[in-house]
Homo-oligomer: A and B are copies of this chain.
C-alpha cells in the first residue's frame, strides 16, 4: 500500500487549514492605518504564528514520508489523529485573537500545540513499528527538537497562567527552532545514496 494518497489527502487538509485561517481575519470597518492595526494587527501576527506551525508540520510530514514507510490501518488513523489536532488551529487561533491573548485562550492554544506534537510523535512511532521501520527509528534516534518542543509548550502553558503574553514566547521559540526542516532525513537519504554509489 503506497503512501501517495495519504500524502495528497494530508496536503489538502493542511492547505485548507492555512487558507481558512485567513477567513477568520476581521476586515477593518474604517479606512486608516489605525483601523488596520487595531482591527487586524493582532490577528495578522497570530495568523503568521499558526501559518508557520502548519508550514513546519507540512515540511516534517513531507520529510517523514520520503522514507517510504509501510502504510497500515494504524498509520492511517495516526495520521488522521494528527490532522484532527491541526484542524483545530483556526478555532484556537481565533479565540486567542478575539480575546486579545487572554489567560485561558493562551493556555488552550498551547494545549492545541501540545496535542499536535504528541499526535506527531505517535505517528512517528506507528511508522517505526511497521516491518522495516528500524531504519526509520535510527534516523530519528537523537530527536532533541522532538523532546524540547513539548517541554517548551508546557512551559508556555504554565507561563500563560502568570502573564498570558509571556506564554506566547515559548510557542514562538518552538516555531523558530523548527524553521529549519528536519535535516536528519536529508542526511540519511544522502548517506544512503552515497552507499549505493560505492556498492
Interface of A with B (CB < 8 Å)?
1, 5-9, 11-20, 22-23, 25, 27-29, 31-33, 36, 40, 48, 51, 55, 58-59, 62, 66, 72-73, 76-77, 80, 83-84, 87-88, 90-91, 94-95, 98-99, 102-105, 108, 179-181, 183, 186, 189
Contacts and interface: CB of A to CB of B under 8 A. Distances in A.
Given A5-B62, A8-B8, A31-B99, 7 more contacts: A1-B66, A7-B8, A8-B11, A12-B16, A16-B20, A59-B73, A59-B77
A27 B98 contact: yes
B104 A40 contact: no
Contacts of A87: 18-19, 22, 51
Contacts of A17: 19
